[in-house]
Amino acid sequence: MKVTVEPDTKTETATLTFNTFTPVPTINFAPIETLPAEVTYTLTDDQGNTWDSMTGYNVSVDPYPINTPVDFTQIYKNGNTVLATQTIRAGVGATFGGKRFSGIIIDGSATTVITPVELSFEAVVAEFGGVLNQMRG
């Protein structure tokens, strides 16, 4: 007996949240939740740097000049389809003997919380269990 299972798609949703920002020399842009398997997340800055799941999302203040804001863009994709983007502007300030990210701005407002990202995407679903149970029946 040959059984063919046709995959189906369904709409999935996910909300990604982030740690509260405090003035630090490294920002962790990783979401608290695990990314859905269908979603890839890339972080870029306005200097041409990129972070992804292979590099991790911890960004050091070291390469950025003091008193120059840096724009970071979060990009979430399902295949080639962009699901969401968000730009976060981080200030770089001097400290005794060094520097740190001194604050973040999202949508023109200073904040201590990176805005949660809402995703909606198509996921492939194949229901093998129901087909096998029907065959056994």
CB atoms within 10 A of CB 93: 14
> Which amino acid type is present at position 59?
V
Give the per-residue pLDDT at 132.
Answer: 43
Is domain 20-114 in CATH 2.60.40, yes or no?
yes
Give the per-residue pLDDT at 128.
Answer: 55
Structural domain spans, the chain: 20-114
Which stretches of the chain drop beneath a pLDDT of 70? 1-7, 126-137
Give the per-residue pLDDT at 135.
Answer: 43
Sheet with 98-106, strands from edge to edge, namely: 50-51, 40-45, 70-78, 81-95, 98-106, 109-111
Give the per-residue pLDDT at 133.
Answer: 44
How far apart are the C-alpha atoms of 16 and 27, rounded to whole Å?
16
Give the per-residue pLDDT at 131.
Answer: 46
